[in-house]
Structure 1
Amino acid sequence: MNSRIEKPASTSLVYLDRAPPPFFVGRRDALTQFTASWQDVLAGHPRVFLIAGEAGVGKTKLLTECQTLARHLQANVYAGRCYEGQFLPYAPFAEALNQLSEAEAEIPEEPLDHIKQDREILNRLLLQRVPANADLVQAEQVESDRLRLFLAISRTMVALARRHPMLFVADDLHWADQPTLELLAHLVFTATQAAEQHPVPMLILSAYRPEEDRPRLVRSIQRLQREEHCETVTLTGLDEADIDDLIRHMCQGRPSSQLLDTIRDITHGNPLFIQETLYHLEQQQALCMQDGDLVTTAAAEAFRLPEHLTSVIRERIDGLSVNCRRVLTLAACLGERFSFDTLARASELNEDDLLDLLEEGLEQRLLINTGPDFQFAHALICQAFYHLPSVRRRQRLHGQIAEALEQLHESKLDTAFSQIASHLVRAGSAAKAEKLIHYGCQAGDDAFAAFDWSLAAHYYNAVLTTAEAVPAAGELDWGSLYYRAGLSHCNSGDYGLGLGLYDRAIEAYQTTGDLEGQGEALIRKALRQASGNFGTLIDLQPLEDLLERLGGRRPDCAAVSLRPSPYSTGRVDRERRRRRWHSAPWRSVKKLAMPCSVRRQVFIWLWPR
């Protein structure tokens, strides 16, 4: 069956259509389940529909088909996705709400009022519009603002669903950060509770790759699946009939049993693998028509797919021109989806030359262009290009992109801090230390303001690692930087790292004689230890010594905020902090001879979290 077939003179070679396939093959059972869930939604019951499957199995294609079906059934569809390697808190919600913002004129009054009431906090999500001169929010206000954000989004989406049946789509959930997963869960539970009072016709549709090395994703999915209104469809390879349909659509011919069996054995029915295998056979001139059937003249072992399809994609990449490979490698550093303008600035090519190279990628079906941006046809193709160069060269490419982004957003840098910082961090030693420190601090502040504490900790850690290796970084406010990193880690649940950073902040404040910073760090550390180490004695002596030095005076609780940015260390800021430090009397904790649990409550009362 898999032996090589000699090509007789009567055969004709087959060439595949390079246009993106508009057809949808198989998945009838999954569509039937989706339709049944939608009928429940129309009855006023919110539903969650999860699609799981390996890379290339057709999750996104099924999502697109479900959206088309929902629109045909007169549903309002709001769609977003998560992105690999791009630090965008709440990305699918931001994209969906931006669609909502663009259509505000058609929004019913009830949700529109909610948006107006919470405009400031929603703006942190939409386009990350945080006031440039705003200090970080108070530590005790963080949870409150985060709850306001969750409530504002959930309330708006529930109100819209009550007005008209809604489908909310979040694709590539395996790339989601922790805040996005928590907001998704909050929306699900809010819609469920609201439906107990009044109908909420909302369906939440999401696709993800099951990955055991992402414990937060696993826990979040398991949490959703415990709800009776959650349904999960796991996609596997196409069956023989669907493989036959896919080959017929792509090759405009009837596949022979020999070709069908070979493709099935190699790809296990994975749609992406089937397409790539057929393109590979075409490039090898190993597809031809023989007696009305489509056959292959190559033995299966000659083109058997490796574990992740890498070698086959590499062979297609090798067929590109040198300049096209270079441009697409640079594009892969931008991500799976990339902006033409950013790539043009980073590559330093004129528009016509760049379009010629991108069109070469489109012709080879390595890229997709359905709007102003370009996108790799699949994440595996993007990864293959990304890993073409050496690590050192890849770092240089990220540094090149950071410079391009800096030039493109010169007039409004505050909207691009996270993008620039992300590429500078990936640039490693190829990045200029002073730029990484500057943009890393700003991106960390923005992430904290958006309640993405893991991302904030990521940027602060990168800044600290870089600054500690640069002698010229001695002018930084080290205490503030350590403190902010420690607070970010503690808020994200990394208590051990957070406490260690608090200790380093205390040492730095002692070195500079900053009593306010020292007091804040000591109290935050004590609160963290008191809330997590029940029955364990806490060393409060350093805090008691500081209180004694201060002569029984403390800052006003209502005015306590997180430390200002390391770049806000001017004389005016220091005078303001000094006045605030002596603005109210302090009752010495040293005199309170109480058990640790009571003392902990006093601490919490004096310093609201």
Structure 2
Amino acid sequence: MLGSVETRSVSPVFVGRAGELTALTEALSRATAGEPQALLIGGEAGVGKTRLIEEFTGTARDRGAVVALGGCVELGADGLPFAPFSTALRALRRRLPDELTAAADGQHGELARLLPELGDPGGHDPADEDSTARLFELTVRLLERLAADRTIVLVLEDLHWADTSTRHLLTYLLRTLRRGRIVVVASYRADDIHRRHPLRPLLAELDRLRTIRRIELPRFTRTEVHRQLTGILAAEPDPGLVEEVFERSDGNAFFVEELVVSHEAGCAPGQLSDSLRDLLLVRVEALPEDAQRIVRIAAEGGSTVEYGLLAAVARLTEDELIEALRAAVGANILLAVPDGDGYRFRHSLVREAVSDDLLPGERSRLNRRYAEALQADPALVRADERATRLATYWYHAHDPAEALPAVLRASVATRKRHAHAEQLRLLERAMELWDEAPAEVRA
């Protein structure tokens, strides 16, 4: 059963990305004509970078190009040096054994530092700057020779995990590649590139090179999510399912797939599968303790939580709060609202996972603290949101005595704004609370 669910979770239909795929195929055409091309593809985790690259490399193979893929290893600067280049060159050696041997003629020993299959690296000192510069030069010349008579697509994935040596070699390649029928495509996770990430200065440097095109993948629109669901289910999806999946996934293609898995596995509406919840919480659990605490508090505050309200509920010193927020923002879990003084989750599904991970007593306690802070200082939130948010906090605090009058006041406020659907929802909550509320509150 799990096998069939996994198969259905990936759409056989390539959705959206028409402009991005066109840019890649046009670059392939220019490279085939003898003009080397370089493209950087960025986007958050799960947005569809790999699927776009797979679609492009399939087209490239159909046109007779030789595709070599290499990926960075998640070990950072202490990991495997030149890992994506070594993997890609190994793929080229399998596809073009004689041609690569001929192109490397006379430099096997030095190039063996990237591709050990070529022989013994010999006595070259890896710390020797001249030796490293020569290795870079030989690598570029090797690729140019291989691409003289055929089109080569060199794909380097996950640059956010690249070691220093890989970044230096990539920079050298993109700056000095001048001839050959070659396309270099590199991808990275934009949400992993925090302010001090070592890839950030490289991206800024490459942005200044007019020979490099940078492609940023946005999330899917509602229409594209509908098309993705149609492909996954092999049938027209229910409009309610489309709306729910789009709202919860925020248009992230991977999350759409995982939410379909949850739906197919029988999870109740609003629930996440265990695998998706665990995946979403990995980055949160890597934060310092105070930052994790702030993330948990923010998850119960609403889609956006004002700084003052967050400070009142967190009860940390100002310095501790700022440091915790800086860690959460630096990890791309929270975002500072550009036109206000609040914070929101980068992705609503992460907020949902954090909220679901709270203990029952913990969740009600946090909502009580939000309600008490807002009652003590109503100016902490905008006036047009105050009644509804107070009602929501008291409702989730499981305090019928406070929640019932707050919900009724909020229903009056929404009626004045002609928000009848929201008023109906609040009145339904009032009916739910009615029997549990004390008699003096119902009077």
Asked if Structure 1 and Structure 2 have the same fold, meaning a TM-score greater than 0.5 normalized by the shorter chain, the answer is: yes
Alignment-derived partner of residue 100 in structure 1: 92
How far apart are residue 102 of structure 1 and its match?
2.7
How far apart are residue 39 of structure 1 and its match?
2.5
Asked if 1:115 corresponds to 2:95, the answer is: no
Alignment-derived partner of residue 79 in structure 1: 69
Structure label with greater radius of gyration: 1
Q: Secondary structure at the match of 1:61?
A: helix
Q: Distance in 2 between the 1:78 and 1:154 partners?
A: 15
**CA displacement 1:214-251 (0-9 Å, x = unmatched):** 53211112222211121111112112222112112222
Q: What TM-score, normalized by structure 2, do the two folds share?
A: 0.56
Q: Distance in 2 between the 1:277 and 1:120 partners?
A: 51
Is the alpha carbon distance of 1:16 and 1:219 closer, same or farther for their aligned partners in structure 2, counting shifts above 3 Å? same
Q: Secondary structure at the match of 1:88?
A: coil
Q: Distance in 2 between the 1:41 and 1:104 partners?
A: 19
How far apart are residue 179 of structure 1 and its match?
0.8
Alignment-derived partner of residue 181 in structure 1: 167
How far apart are residue 313 of structure 1 and its match?
7.0
Amino acid at match of 1:208: Y
Asked if 1:163 corresponds to 2:133, the answer is: no
**CA displacement 1:453-495 (0-9 Å, x = unmatched):** xxxxxxxxxxxxxxxxxxxxxxxxxxxxxxxxxxxxxxxxxxx
Q: Distance in 2 between the 1:161 and 1:129 partners?
A: 19
5+ long unaligned stretches in structure 1? 1-14, 287-297, 315-383, 385-609
Asked if 1:137 corresponds to 2:125, the answer is: yes
Is the alpha carbon distance of 1:114 and 1:201 closer, same or farther for their aligned partners in structure 2, counting shifts above 3 Å? closer
The match for 1:204 among 184, 188, 191 is 184
Alignment-derived partner of residue 303 in structure 1: 271
Amino acid at match of 1:118: Q
Amino acid at match of 2:6: R
Tell me if structure 1 keeps the 8 A contact 2:267–2:273.
no
Alignment-derived partner of residue 537 in structure 1: none
Q: Secondary structure at the match of 2:91?
A: helix
RMSD between superposed Cα atoms in Å: 3.1
Alignment-derived partner of residue 215 in structure 2: 233
Alignment-derived partner of residue 567 in structure 1: none
**CA displacement 1:269-293 (0-9 Å, x = unmatched):** 111101111111222355xxxxxxx
Is the alpha carbon distance of 1:131 and 1:160 closer, same or farther for their aligned partners in structure 2, counting shifts above 3 Å? closer
Q: How does 1:275-294 map onto structure 2 within 5 Å?
A: 275-284=257-266, 286=268
**CA displacement 1:116-153 (0-9 Å, x = unmatched):** 31111211222488969x788396xx112112211111
Is the alpha carbon distance of 1:311 and 1:77 closer, same or farther for their aligned partners in structure 2, counting shifts above 3 Å? closer
How far apart are residue 18 of structure 1 and its match?
2.9
Asked if 1:44 corresponds to 2:12, the answer is: no
Q: How does 1:321-470 map onto structure 2 within 5 Å?
A: none
Q: Secondary structure at the match of 1:183?
A: helix
Q: How many residue pairs end up in the alignment?
A: 275
Amino acid at match of 1:255: P
Tell me if structure 1 keeps the 8 A contact 2:5–2:264.
no
Tell me if structure 1 keeps the 8 A contact 2:126–2:132.
no
Alignment-derived partner of residue 263 in structure 1: 245
Is the alpha carbon distance of 1:136 and 1:189 closer, same or farther for their aligned partners in structure 2, counting shifts above 3 Å? closer
How far apart are residue 51 of structure 1 and its match?
0.9
Q: Distance in 1 between the 2:65 and 2:96 partners?
A: 17
Is the alpha carbon distance of 1:313 and 1:225 closer, same or farther for their aligned partners in structure 2, counting shifts above 3 Å? closer
**CA displacement 1:499-555 (0-9 Å, x = unmatched):** xxxxxxxxxxxxxxxxxxxxxxxxxxxxxxxxxxxxxxxxxxxxxxxxxxxxxxxxx
Q: Distance in 1 between the 2:123 and 2:61 partners?
A: 44
Amino acid at match of 1:19: T
5+ long unaligned stretches in structure 2? 282-352, 354-443
Name the % identity.
Answer: 29
Asked if 1:221 corresponds to 2:203, the answer is: yes
Tell me if structure 2 keeps the 8 A contact 1:16–1:279.
no
Q: How does 1:9-20 map onto structure 2 within 5 Å?
A: 17-19=5-7
Amino acid at match of 2:258: E
Q: Secondary structure at the match of 1:203?
A: strand
Is the alpha carbon distance of 1:274 and 1:105 closer, same or farther for their aligned partners in structure 2, counting shifts above 3 Å? closer
Tell me if structure 2 keeps the 8 A contact 1:247–1:255.
yes
How far apart are residue 155 of structure 1 and its match?
0.2
How far apart are residue 181 of structure 1 and its match?
0.9
Is the alpha carbon distance of 1:312 and 1:231 closer, same or farther for their aligned partners in structure 2, counting shifts above 3 Å? closer
Tell me if structure 2 keeps the 8 A contact 1:16–1:282.
no
How far apart are residue 154 of structure 1 and its match?
0.5
Asked if 1:191 corresponds to 2:177, the answer is: yes
